[in-house]
Structure 1
């Protein structure tokens, strides 16, 4: 079994005529770690996440999720990989309004035509704190509760890695802290791997490691850093970009 959950090797992504979103990014993301990705606006954060998750195709370079190389896969195979080996949590909760909490969480199995492990389902729903709300629909839940449903849906298939793109962007400060604490607990208690894009230094401080991008290149990283240290790094990157412009 590969020691990394995700590996990118010399990954580039170019759009149109010379718009370089990623410039030769090489990085290993270990299993069981919580990694945050930060950088100034336009630095390539979301592009990196999308390429790592198989949602977008690099212009060059290779991406592995576990031992699987994504560039060798066709679209059908990529769809199956995203369904089986990746979980997704986005700023928009992406829940189905007509479905209950349990039905939303079980949606990956419904789409795949497979049967869930109900013991694990119960554990996941309990872990995210929704045991008393399994029959509620999204409109009956707060924003934080809806994001907890999304996290449960991401975890229920036991993915290799959970990709989170600004998961607290639509939440107030207290609710965001609750969701981030939940993600931290999932990593610590179950060995889950989480890769999160965020613009918020406080959110990034929940991670084991923070990667910093600037103009599509990986330029720095820190381990077990607090919000102030992270904010200083991001400010420095923004200042460097302003001088370069």
Structure 2
């Protein structure tokens, strides 16, 4: 008996995003498999941030369709789109985006509260244990290092068990050792929990943790690199950025 193939975690179909006469994305099509770790790279102005914003529902494309699982984002009203982002998508940003007045537990619980869901403290404790911060629940962001704050942000992204986590330069403000720890946790979320991760980065070392790397240039996907290494990413990056 044949099985129906699983829907991609995220799918873009001929997505274009224009700002006046400038096309930040130009008819981009791609499908992100469930349980995969994909890095997205490209020169400045290549469309990386616009790609992430359209794929995650933070921005609406000028043309084309975006799907997260079985939901076509273009058909959703703004309130429904906001609810989908809260319940089915996780975000990690370079600047952490933690609430300074809230402690670690409160920051991690925020997506649950905003979504009107019961706050499961056992779930929060479990996620914080996964990122090595079980003993920091009562600390505020100002009492944590940058790497610890980013791990809180990752726990917050994972607490709702989202279909996909979008990470926008999450290691850009971290030193190499701390960045490696955050990337290891993201890799574990994929390998152990079947999480889907889309990572936008300019760092070949960060990209080498992924299963594959997409290279954007001029608002288009120009190449995919499977099973990347730092050396192979650097070689492709030099070609794209030339």
Q: Are 1:15 and 2:12 matched, yes or no? A: no
Q: TM-score, normalised by structure 2?
A: 0.96
Residues 10, 24 of structure 1: 8 Å contact kept? yes
Q: Secondary structure, in 3 states, of the residue corresponding to 1:108?
A: helix
Q: Are 1:120 and 2:123 matched, yes or no? A: yes
Q: Are 1:72 and 2:75 matched, yes or no? A: yes
Q: Are 1:101 and 2:104 matched, yes or no? A: yes
Q: Aligned to 2:199, which of 173, 182, 196?
A: 196
Structure 2 alignment gaps of length 5 or more: none
Residue correspondences, number: 238
Q: Are 1:84 and 2:67 matched, yes or no? A: no
> Please, what is the CA RMSD of the aligned residues?
1.0
Residues 2, 66 of structure 1: 8 Å contact kept? no
Q: Are 1:221 and 2:224 matched, yes or no? A: yes
Q: Distance in 1 between matches of 2:126 and 2:211?
A: 25
Q: Aligned to 2:166, which of 156, 163, 166?
A: 163
Q: Distance in 2 between matches of 1:122 and 1:133?
A: 10
Q: Distance in 2 between matches of 1:207 and 1:201?
A: 10
Q: Distance in 1 between matches of 2:54 and 2:104?
A: 29
Q: Distance in 2 between matches of 1:104 and 1:220?
A: 38
Q: Distance in 2 between matches of 1:112 and 1:94?
A: 18
Q: Secondary structure, in 3 states, of the residue corresponding to 2:51?
A: helix
Q: Are 1:207 and 2:210 matched, yes or no? A: yes
Q: Structure 1 stretches (4+) deviating beyond 4 angstroms?
A: none
Residues 2, 67 of structure 1: 8 Å contact kept? no
Give runs of aligned pairs for residues 168-179 of structure 1, distance below 5 A.
168-179=171-182
